[in-house]
Amino acid sequence: MSGTSDRPTASHDVQESSPGDRLHHPSAKGAAPDDDLHPPCSRKQLAKLGQRLIGPHPSDRDWRLYGQVIDFFESLMLNVSSEIDAVDWTALLGRDTGIWVTGRAKTRGTLFDKLRRTPEIGLGYIRDIAGVRIVGDFTLSEEDLMVRHLVESLDPNAKVIDRRAEPQAGYRAVHVVVTSHEAFVEIQVRTDLQAIWAEVYERLADTIGRGIRYGEPSEIEGPAVARLIQGLQEISTVVIADLERLEQHVDNSLKTGEPIPQRVSLGSTTVRLDAPVEVVRRYVEEEKRQVRETLRRLLVRLEHVGPRDD
């Protein structure tokens, strides 16, 4: 998918050639859920498999079992994706927000990287082997409403992780971890700005070291790289976060007549809002457009650089 697209791709993980690789693809809209799914082994057996796979000599039998595991999680992802696709989001939110659903089973490279980074978790307890992503031009309160609906409809005991309140290395979104067929599926709910920022940061991580996603130093040193990382994180945690909060104030005012605050923070400046709400709404839309364009241009530049050769 082109870097200038409005839609984020499902994954930017670099595929490596091995007997354990599998193809991963967006969710098949309208596919019927498969209720006859069973994990190929227990979580304890999965944990042992993960240890062997990142060890020096995984066997052919290990690779075959790993293939079965990925096939299971890919089917699980398609199941959850089809349930999400079936939701009438326009009816739930009261408007069309252009929601787009994708899914993927985690690629070998990123999965093994996580196993090495956090060996104490174990393969059977990694939350995002099966992942589904929901992206749209919705407000923060609409994002909250979608999350509540996912919990109520898919798993009342789901774990909700709000990275808007506690960003990780600049990353903001809401994750809903549901249990289905005795396994975890992670659903990422992102506004369009949260999504394009994450895509840019993922591509930057491919270029200078994937550890930056966890707050670790870049593998390429220098003040220019450090400034780039800090600046990109601030676009998310300051600029986009402030714009989304202001957008929420505007939405509340249009729906309920609630007055917009006289002063709001936007990035490093404080803005006075003594204009009609419709004028403020157009201002927010223009600011969002400029942020999108900035991130798209950066994404194109990073795509020309390409991933690092490890």
Angle (CA) 34 32 123, round 5°: 40
d(Cα 270, Cα 272) in Å, to the nearest integer?
7
d(Cα 230, Cα 226) in Å, to the nearest integer?
6
Q: Which two tokens stand for residue 284?
A: 């927010």
Q: What is the pLDDT along the chain (310 residues), one digit of tens a residue?
A: 333 333 333 333 323 333 333 333 344 444 555 667 889 999 899 999 999 999 999 999 999 999 999 999 999 999 999 999 999 999 999 999 999 999 999 889 889 988 998 888 889 899 999 999 999 999 999 999 999 999 999 999 999 999 999 999 999 999 999 999 999 999 999 999 999 999 999 999 999 998 999 889 999 989 999 999 999 999 999 999 999 999 999 999 999 888 887 777 776 677 777 778 888 899 899 999 999 999 999 999 988 775 655 4
CATH architecture of 43-192: 2-Layer Sandwich (3.30)
d(Cα 48, Cα 188) in Å, to the nearest integer?
28
Domain edges within the chain:
43-192, 206-305
Whole-prediction pTM value?
Answer: 0.84
CB atoms within 10 A of CB 221: 10
d(Cα 307, Cα 110) in Å, to the nearest integer?
14
Helices vs strands, H then E, count in the chain: 9, 7
